[in-house]
Amino acid sequence: MAFESMNNVKNMGYHRPFIRCTASRAGGSTIYVSARTELRGKRVLIEIDHAANLVRLRAATGSERGAQCLKQGVMSASKALVLACGTFRVYVEKREDGWWYGRIPESK
């Protein structure tokens, strides 16, 4: 039997940017944004493409309205988000157009 040192193993999922959506007790939904997305402390636009199961986010510019993301990475959204997509955790990646894209897992 050979032992492998855990000091050299990295958790690749920990370092990837992600968002997490859950239902809140107040009747809405809560979205947590990881620090690696660079969206904390900004107003954020969120869009969902139901046909392709994609979600995208970006910082709002100028007079655009978006949800306020606190410095801790928490923001509120409509209950419709949880009803449409369920509770999910999505790893996101930034593309050339400035949006962060991620694939919503299909509900079971």
Residue found under tokens 């894209």: 101
Q: Report pLDDT for 102.
A: 93
Q: Report pLDDT for 108.
A: 46
Return all residues near 55 (Cβ < 8 A) that are at least 6 apart: 19, 46, 47, 48, 49, 85, 90, 92, 101, 102, 103, 104
User: Going edge to edge, which strands form the sheet with 88-91?
Assistant: 74-77, 29-33, 18-23, 88-91
Q: Report pLDDT for 26.
A: 81
For the record, the structure tokens of 78 come out as 């409509």
Q: What is the mean pLDDT of each run of 10 residues along the chain (108 residues)?
A: 68 75 86 92 91 91 91 87 79 94 79
Q: Report pLDDT for 33.
A: 93
pTM given for the model: 0.79
